Chain A
């Protein structure tokens, strides 16, 4: 019912209307004659139809109400401004910034600073968002590769649990409040030259930061800088001090090392030089023909390590026995030491190693890990000098850490001072001592005695809870700084993005202590280098250094030093017998994925299966099978570990290769504060760690509690069941029969087909252009997980959480299969990365009912997510089990900050679809676009998959098989090349190069493997 007018009603008084309209001034809009006439009928209608509007119409424009509303709106708008809205620029570029093409990523060189040396990297940036870390190929410490942790560090930038505001005593404060408060404290302490002012930070590799702290200390001479971190390298420094009377950094040259003896040094996986060391080491493991020579690796260790899994001969000893072993070895090498007793069982082993070292003087290397005491390090230095290895396979340089810390500036002195009331102001710049500090220090109690405490951290963690101030720290991709790599080469660390949450860098806070609250880190770093280098054109130097990612020629030069003579005397006087009661020992290690706990909130690393154990989301007390048997423990049984008067509860995990009387505990878990992912996962092994025994302690008591705790592993079966999945041979076998890996196996299907292929009714497809393929050199692979995390980062792979891993639903596109073979107590360990095989005759393609997975014209096995309905038939029919299904909506589609890290070139998959390795098809496509623009074929090496790029040991080769000059074609024709499950006739495009080991003929009974892999089944 529109108009309720009675047709009989009086007609409009048009005269009156005209009059009314003529009376109005200005513009008057009218909608109908009725409105102008303003008849009672119209009012009635209006009232019936729009009761609310009727009033305002009838009363004309209510100015008062209008103003009220406007006022309120303005006030609301003002309130809205209190929370900072994200800047959402929708304007197009009027002038496009140089080099920036929307849709094409840019790469910036910078460095990921870690103690002991930064990781030089290139960061891929999409329209201002850093998304992916890659190694800096120009930099000697990277050569283009990275570690898994470096790969994962980009996720921390977008961590939704990052601290976003300055806090004091539980309240949100401003940065200016903090500035005023620090100025106040520093002014008060200035008269006493800064007595009671302490800075606690991890040892830094940043020259600018060290100089800034140095300036503060010069200004306030009584102030002190304590450097400490839980997985510190004290023993390395003290070992050097013992041997050389000064702190030097040993730098190894694995390229020239023929015989390597590692005493708990996990040089392939741990420490700043790992990426380069892995590259050099693996280069010596690759064989191209039978004349190739291999290095030989002996590892003696008390806890399973990546390096240990690569050893030709591995000896599992208790941590406390290793010094004895080192002395026994030294004695065989004519170093003047008293040979300890108790290692008779290993006499043959020791003498064989010694013989090998003596035969390779100048080409051998003996090195120790940070978990071994200073004496062992010093002894290694002495041995290397004795064997003339020093100067060849190891050189000594000034320390990479700026202002190498001394024991008197350690954490224990600081805590003693704090407890004694001698500390007035404590600045904790990074680290998380309330969680990490040795349990006997009681850092938290001591912290309570310090009136003014500051914690600079990326998260509000355990330490922030107890400090007066908490300042959000910048991520390294958000701030300017500089950092030395393991060899001393300096990288100017440039930011990729403005701080997301107004974080502050350590440099800013140190400058603040020094009295400067203005200025930028950019200026500080630049000014430092302006003063530090003398170059004709600083601007040119600066631009080049920032662009290249390193300052050319800043590598630390080798020092010419010798082991001091009184050390040898000291060695000779050491007591003959270790006080060894054969008690159960506990060994502490950094976690192989989340390190000291700093990555506890990083989902990628939490879900990365740990080397050896393949555990995710938890740490465990690793025990040997023999101990498990003796104590009747099975995986997941919770035990109470009692050490002195401290105890923890931990689930056990039986780990072949673990020394019998040793329990290995990984640090970094059991966080109580630090983000959604970190909190409440695993147990904290720090609770057993003391100042005196940071790495291992004897006399731990283990008691079964009867509680069971489920541990999530990605691999439940550890033997190969007699299947020739991982093929390996000793060098001598390989030399005798170079085609051992391709010889027909015993499965029947391939019998009579010496070419390794079963016949097919279907003719082969002829690929005219590109035909992609991959090889993975098992000789080179060390199983470090870098490929896995790189793949996760590149391809937007979701994490699923512990519950889902327990159900077998992890999503990794490339996994590392780990098989044990041989002796249960000290097995051979085989790591085999398994991405999609991109089978030429792919079983998955046939069975998909909706054509969602197809073969591309270049041989790829493509997956069309949009077409997938999720029958999972393809995954069932995949013999390699590389397909991954989205059982739930695993991707986090809601958390705003996480949207930033995703690769825009890769689809973010939704629930109910299958996914798998694509050979980084987005990278192939971008190379194809480039090549088409330039009207040329894609060059060899132009497409680098994410896994290949990250691989520290250069084990993965990818390219066009049709290109006969390519690296991939060369590897495919290598006699070690074999296909996984070739007998199924799937014709995989991903193939493997069989692993060659180099066991010492004298120890061949102990050797990893003398023939094929898994003759008739492993023992496990």
Chain B
């Protein structure tokens, strides 16, 4: 069996698998989560909370469709708020999966192996959560399909100049490719589950999903090629999706949106947010399922380093924004920055700086990076901070733009909040269903990390 990733000349790399693991123990450990009927208490708690919140989402969306966008706090100057903030937040979170799967794969970072599966799943679910918002935030969601270019009898096409149309392509492409990538990566493991299945029903289901995988060399050969191709396809998407999302703002004339720094700044922010979310999930999971041998402190350390790097890029973005606002000598830009820092939403801006700028400075210390509890707290800061960042961009720019006569405050309503926490519910529900029914860690790739799999020579 060929390993998907091989190093040609290996410099020293710290081990990313606990000692004493064999092919069997790896498979058993991971597959048993799916096989066994009993789930740890943590699973039940998380799933119950998630499912309850999912119902909140359903109620909030039903009410939204019944009554109209007015149930939210959006108003005349602030035409976008929670829906778009949440959209950008979720789509940002959805970046880690592809980055880990594709870019780290191409860069032959084998530590990605133990986290890529659930990171990809998380990506999909985050994109699913994100995907809800552009549809429901429209005034007439039943007509949202008009953003798609389809040949209708009206002969009206979408406006290809509009970044929202670009969004449609970017997000749907990303969702499709991520889903494919994830599914292709699952095939060998699905076959394992099929083979281990104890009931005929699960055998049939996993069997069908495994697409007749037998593990033949030919299968592996084609699989490897397909996986690499998909990785190649996904790599530009990591950059493009959030760049396109940032165009929603950058193309507009609104001070605080109209900035050329936005694409790289958004991409860095997305990776930052994504890694924070991967850690937010990984840290409790490795405890809940006792898989510290698979997701080791070394993994946490690596992810924290990525966070630190991207977090610093994001901070650079903040500095640039502030600097150019003053350097431009443009009244509106200057005012926008001043208003962000010292206007009515000043607390949110400084909280953002605290969360995204100050809190990650602790990651310079290895002890912090390797301490699951402290790292978890820092990740929560970053999760909150990244949400606040979008709030600052969307709301504080809109609420006071060119015409002081139209300035107005935005306050969320209970339905804004319900919709937001509702998508967290959707996310948790999907995530824990995934953990229950699919191997959260790639078994076949983990097996390649077992010392016995070490191939001494190149083939």
C-alpha spacing A834/B403, complex, angstroms = 10
Cα distance, A110 to B137, chains bound together (Å):
48
Q: Which residues of A contact B408 (CB under 8 A)?
A: 716, 808
> A716-B408, A912-B140 are known contacts. Are A807 and B73 too (CB-CB below 8 A)?
yes
- Residues of chain B from 66 to 118 with CB closer than 8 A to chain A in the complex: 67-70, 73-80
> Is A289 positioned at the interface, with any CB of B under 8 Å from its CB?
no
The CA of A721 and the CA of B67, in the complex, are separated in Å by 37
Question: A963 CA to B234 CA in the complex, in Å?
Answer: 57
Chain A: interface size category: 35 or more
Q: Which B residues are in CB contact (< 8 Å) with A870?
A: 69, 138-140
Contact of B75 among A746, A807, A880 (CB under 8 A): A807
Is A721's CB under 8 angstroms from B404's CB? Answer: yes
Is A877 an interface position by the 8 A CB rule?
yes
Q: Complex Cα distance A798/B115, Å?
A: 55
B159 at the interface (CB under 8 A from A): yes
Partner of B139, one of A717, A748, A868: A868
Which residues of A879-919 have CB atoms within 8 Å of chain B's CB atoms? 879-881, 884-889, 911-914
Q: How far is the CA of A748 from the CA of B80 in the complex (A)?
A: 29
Cβ of B162 and Cβ of A849 under 8 Å apart? yes
Is residue A221 contacting chain B, with contact meaning CB distance below 8 A? no
Q: Are B158 and A847 in contact (CB under 8 A)?
A: no
Complex alpha-carbon distance, A725 and B408, angstroms:
18
Interface string of A859-888 (1 = CB under 8 A from B): 000000001111111011101110011111
Please tell me if the beta carbons of B159 and A911 are within 8 angstroms of each other in the complex. Answer: no
B221-253 vs A: 1/0 string, CB under 8 Å?
000000000000000000000000000100111
Please, which residue of chain A has its CB at the minimum distance from the CB of B398? Answer: A876
The yes or no answer to A385 lying at the interface (CB within 8 A) is no
- A residues less than 8 Å from B168 (CB atoms): 849
Q: Is B165 an interface residue (CB 8 A)?
A: yes
Cα A746 to Cα B158 in complex, Å, equals 39
Q: Does A462 contact B (CB under 8 A)?
A: no
Q: Binding site of A, secondary structure by majority: helix, strand, loop or mixed?
A: loop
**When chains A and B are docked, how far (Å) is the Cα of A846 from the Cα of B164?**
10
Return B168 CB to nearest CB of chain A, in Å: 8
For window 714-741 of A, CB contacts with B under 8 Å fall at: 715-723, 725
Asked if A981 lies at the interface with its beta carbon under 8 angstroms from chain B, I say yes
State the CA gap A718–B403 with chains docked (Å). 10
Whether B79 contacts A984 by the Cβ 8 Å rule is no
Docked pose: A876 CA to B76 CA in angstroms:
8
Contact present for B159 and A879 (CB under 8 Å): no
A430 to B375, CA, bound (A): 77
Known: A808-B77, A871-B137, A881-B77. A888 touches B67 (CB 8 A): yes
A872-B139 CB under 8 A given contacts A721-B404, A725-B403, A843-B252: yes
Q: Which of A722, A884, A887 contacts B68 (CB 8 A)?
A: A887
- Please, what's the 1-or-0 string for B168-194, where 1 marks a CB less than 8 Å from any CB in chain A? 100000000000000000000000000
At the interface, yes or no: A447 with Cβ under 8 Å from chain B?
A: no
Contact, CB under 8 Å: A868 / B328: no
Q: A843-B252, A846-B251, A887-B68 are in contact. Are A851 and B158 (CB under 8 A)?
A: yes
State the total of A-B contacts with C-beta under 8 angstroms: 172
CA distance A591 to B159 in the complex (A): 47
Q: Judge if A757 is at the interface, Cβ distance under 8 Å.
A: no
B364 at the interface (CB under 8 A from A): no
Option from B67, B68, B159, B403 in Cβ contact (under 8 Å) with A881: B403
A911 (CB) vs chain B CBs: closest residue: B68
The residue on B at minimum CB distance from A847 is B162
Check A817 for interface membership: any CB of B closer than 8 A. Answer: yes
**A723-B402, A818-B405 known; A887 vs B140 contact (CB < 8 Å):** no
Partner of B146 from A810, A869, A877 at Cβ < 8 Å: A869
Whether A885 pairs with B407 at a CB distance below 8 angstroms is no
CB distance from B316 to the nearest CB of A (A): 25
CA A846 – CA B160 in complex, angstroms?
A: 9
Q: Residues of B contacting A873 with CB < 8 Å?
A: 79-80, 162, 164, 248, 252
Q: In this assembly, does A809 line the interface, its C-beta being within 8 Å of a C-beta of chain B?
A: yes
Q: Specify which of A809, A848, A868, A984 is in contact with B70 (CB 8 Å cutoff).
A: A809
CB-based contact B139/A851 at 8 Å:
no
Question: Is A703's CB within 8 Å of the partner chain B?
Answer: no
Q: How far is the CB of B332 from chain A (nearest CB, A)?
A: 8
B146 and A850 form a contact (CB under 8 A) = yes
Bound form: Cα–Cα A207–B139 in Å: 54
**CB-based contact A867/B330 at 8 Å:** no
* A804 beta carbon closer than 8 Å to chain B: yes
B1 contacts the other chain (CB 8 A): no
Q: How far is the CA of A722 from the CA of B402 in the complex (A)?
A: 11
Question: Which residues of B pack against A, CB within 8 Å?
Answer: 67-70, 73-80, 137-141, 143-144, 146-147, 156-159, 161-165, 168, 248, 251-254, 328-332, 335, 398, 400-409
The 5 A-B pairs with the shortest beta carbon distances in the complex, nearest first, are: A870-B139, A912-B139, A808-B75, A887-B70, A872-B79
Can you list 7 A-B pairs with a CB-CB distance of less than 8 A? A721-B404, A876-B252, A877-B252, A879-B403, A887-B69, A887-B70, A887-B139
Kindly list 12 other residue pairs between chains A and B, CB separation below 8 angstroms, not including A723-B404, A888-B70: A725-B405, A808-B408, A847-B251, A851-B157, A869-B141, A869-B146, A871-B164, A879-B403, A884-B76, A887-B70, A912-B68, A981-B402
